Amino acid sequence: MKKKKILIVVMDGLGDRGCKELGGLTPLQATPTPNFDWFTKNGIAGTCDTVAPGVRPGSDTSHLSILGYDPLKVYTGRGPFEAAGIGLVGKPGDVAFRCNFSTCDSNLVITDRRAGRIDKPDTANLVESLKGMTIDGVDVLVKEGTEHRAALILSGNGLDPRVTDVDAHEEGPIHTSIGKVPEAEFTAKVLNKFVRESYERLKDHPVNKKRVAEGRPPANILVPRGAGDFPHISRFPELHGMSAACVAGVGMIKGICGVCGLDVVDLPAECTGGAGSDFVLKAEAALDALKSYDFVLMNCKAPDVAGHDRDPRLKCKVIERLDKMAGRLREDFPEDLVIVFTADHSTPCSLGDHSGDPVPITIYTPGNVMDDADTFSESGCAHGRIGRIRGHEIVPICLDLADRAEKFGA
Ligand SMILES: [Zn+2]
């Protein structure tokens, strides 16, 4: 029998609570979604606690869960996943940090944590001067991210991520990193030396001289936080015998997928613009990726942005556009595809942040059993035969529907 392919569409922060601006409905309940509803009516539905009931997931831990991993076992902090998101993937055991390019005085007192929101190409030029650094036998890798952000990887023997942040998270003196356990003291020492060295190499850099001459704050120090080691993680393609790719614009999501062994598809700039992103184009990129991969995870960030902005009407508009994306997928639906529409967590507009409320999930493939659910919403999906599941159960359910599951027993 021909095995089917799998597409999981994760609409970031899509779930919500009743909004008083919408007469007590959620944005999904208040917005007509003929295409999502078609998939729900013809497919199977349910609700999903991506990590566990009542747990407020981060987008990183929830995506790990949706990919079938136990985040409690494999999540080692934001550092490694964000580093991977900007293309800096370390070996298991390497320690990664998120960093800010900041402005400091000669006593290393921070006067601007974001160095005037410096961006590329300045940050890329500054990073060049930090290349080839080795401290006490530890190789140092730095890469610029968006705006003032960068990632740092320490690679070598005897490293331990249990160190405190150098970033004081406010203007003022930087903190000296210390090991939270004796085994991490060496890592803290290397980290502190790196921060001092970044200042030495950046303070008189031509980019900074030019910035100062133009009255802008120099980016003369890198300030790390959020240490985490690259996890020993089984690669998704080997685990499931499927080639796999991710279609996403957000660095952290690309990082999670990259660490799990998924290929990251390059997208046109129109697909990576957050709230203004072109979802139809992204759906086309996903359909295209499915020609060469067995499994694709697609992430659309926009509903989460509207939730964080506490803007239910914007979220409704985003949902309307997402439904058009679903329409595009419906129009060209490959016969051999299992598709999942769900979210990584709820981002209720009333809260302006992630909540632990379960999210709707719909799975469709030609020939599945139809259930009683016929509308795609927090309540509409709740009557479906999937019931209430955890995020890590999504992949096994899809594998079964795709005729890829191994038989358990005789
Ligand atoms: Zn999210």
Q: Please indicate, yes or no, if residue 407 is contained in any of the structural domains.
A: no
Taking ligand 1, which is a single-atom ion, which protein residues have CB atoms under 5 Å away?
12, 59, 304, 344
Do both 285 and 221 map to the same domain? Answer: no
Q: Please indicate, yes or no, if residue 389 is contained in any of the structural domains.
A: yes
Token pair recorded at residue 308: 């964080």
Do both 212 and 313 map to the same domain? Answer: no
Q: How far apart are the CA of 207 and the centre of ligand 1, in A?
A: 35
- pLDDT score at 274: 61
Q: How far apart are the CA of 323 and the centre of ligand 1, in A?
A: 19
Do both 386 and 246 map to the same domain? Answer: yes
Q: Cα–Cα–Cα angle for 353, 356, 357, nearest 5°?
A: 100
Q: How far apart are the CA of 353 and the centre of ligand 1, in A?
A: 10
Q: How far apart are the CA of 55 and the centre of ligand 1, in A?
A: 13
Do both 113 and 12 map to the same domain? Answer: no
Q: How far apart are the CA of 304 and the centre of ligand 1, in A?
A: 6
Kindly tell me the sign of the dihedral angle through the C-alpha atoms of 212, 83, 254, 75. Answer: negative
Q: How far apart are the CA of 81 and the centre of ligand 1, in A?
A: 14
- pLDDT score at 273: 63
Q: How far apart are the CA of 12 and the centre of ligand 1, in A?
A: 4
Element containing residue 208 per DSSP (H, E): helix 206-213
Domain count of the fold of the chain: 2
Structural domain ending residue among the three candidates 186, 214, 229? 229
Q: How far apart are the CA of 221 and the centre of ligand 1, in A?
A: 30
Within 88-148, strands assigned E span 95-104, 109-112, 133-135, 138-144
Q: How far apart are the CA of 119 and the centre of ligand 1, in A?
A: 24
CA distances from 335 to 2, 240, 398 (A): 11, 21, 15
Do both 119 and 182 map to the same domain? Answer: yes
Q: How far apart are the CA of 158 and the centre of ligand 1, in A?
A: 34
Q: Please indicate, yes or no, if residue 92 is contained in any of the structural domains.
A: yes
Q: How far apart are the CA of 368 and the centre of ligand 1, in A?
A: 29
Per-residue pLDDT 10s for the chain (410 aa) are 789 999 999 999 999 999 999 999 999 999 999 999 999 999 999 999 999 999 999 999 999 999 999 998 888 888 888 888 888 888 888 999 999 999 999 999 999 999 998 988 999 999 999 999 999 999 999 999 888 999 999 999 999 999 999 998 889 999 999 999 999 999 999 999 999 999 999 999 999 999 999 999 999 999 999 999 988 889 999 999 999 999 998 888 998 998 899 999 988 877 776 666 789 999 999 999 999 999 999 999 999 999 999 999 999 999 999 999 999 999 989 999 999 999 999 999 999 999 999 999 999 999 999 999 999 999 999 999 999 999 999 999 999 999 999 999 98
Range of the domain at 318: 5-75+232-401
Q: How far apart are the CA of 167 and the centre of ligand 1, in A?
A: 25
Q: How far apart are the CA of 69 and the centre of ligand 1, in A?
A: 16
CB 14 within 8 A of CB 326: no
Q: Please indicate, yes or no, if residue 385 is contained in any of the structural domains.
A: yes
Q: Cα–Cα–Cα angle for 398, 399, 402, nearest 5°?
A: 85
Do both 236 and 163 map to the same domain? Answer: no
Structural domain ending residue among the three candidates 181, 210, 229? 229
Do both 36 and 182 map to the same domain? Answer: no
Strand arrangement of the beta sheet that strand 295-300 belongs to: 263-264, 244-247, 295-300, 5-11, 337-342, 359-364, 44-49, 387-390
Kindly tell me the sign of the dihedral angle through the C-alpha atoms of 310, 77, 54, 62. Answer: positive
Q: Please indicate, yes or no, if residue 288 is contained in any of the structural domains.
A: yes
Q: How far apart are the CA of 58 and the centre of ligand 1, in A?
A: 6
Do both 32 and 157 map to the same domain? Answer: no
Q: How far apart are the CA of 181 and the centre of ligand 1, in A?
A: 32
Do both 237 and 138 map to the same domain? Answer: no
Do both 265 and 120 map to the same domain? Answer: no
Q: Please indicate, yes or no, if residue 271 is contained in any of the structural domains.
A: yes
Maximum CA extent, the chain: 76
Residues near 398 by beta carbon (within 8 Å), at least 6 away in sequence:
6, 8, 338, 340, 363
Task: Tell me the pTM.
Answer: 0.86
CA distances from 330 to 287, 307, 362, 365 (A): 11, 27, 14, 11
Cα 49 to Cα 63: distance, rounded to the nearest angstrom: 12
Looking at residue 255, which CATH number applies to its domain?
3.40.720.10
Q: Please indicate, yes or no, if residue 289 is contained in any of the structural domains.
A: yes
Q: How far apart are the CA of 36 and the centre of ligand 1, in A?
A: 20
Q: How far apart are the CA of 303 and the centre of ligand 1, in A?
A: 9
Element containing residue 83 per DSSP (H, E): helix 78-85
Backbone angles phi, psi at 244, to 5 degrees: -145, 145
Structural domain ending residue among the three candidates 183, 198, 229? 229
- pLDDT score at 277: 77
Q: How far apart are the CA of 344 and the centre of ligand 1, in A?
A: 5
Q: How far apart are the CA of 312 and the centre of ligand 1, in A?
A: 17
Residues near 259 by beta carbon (within 8 Å), at least 6 away in sequence:
80, 81, 84, 89, 230, 231, 233
Q: How far apart are the CA of 345 and the centre of ligand 1, in A?
A: 6
Q: How far apart are the CA of 286 and the centre of ligand 1, in A?
A: 19
Cα 142 to Cα 147: distance, rounded to the nearest angstrom: 15
Cα 388 to Cα 368: distance, rounded to the nearest angstrom: 18
Q: Which residues pair with 150 in a beta bridge?
A: 99, 144
Do both 112 and 145 map to the same domain? Answer: yes
Residues near 185 by beta carbon (within 8 Å), at least 6 away in sequence:
178, 179
Q: Please indicate, yes or no, if residue 161 is contained in any of the structural domains.
A: yes
Do both 276 and 393 map to the same domain? Answer: yes
Cα 237 to Cα 404: distance, rounded to the nearest angstrom: 13
Q: How far apart are the CA of 48 and the centre of ligand 1, in A?
A: 14
Q: How far apart are the CA of 13 and the centre of ligand 1, in A?
A: 5
Displacement of CA 131 from its chain's centroid (Å): 27
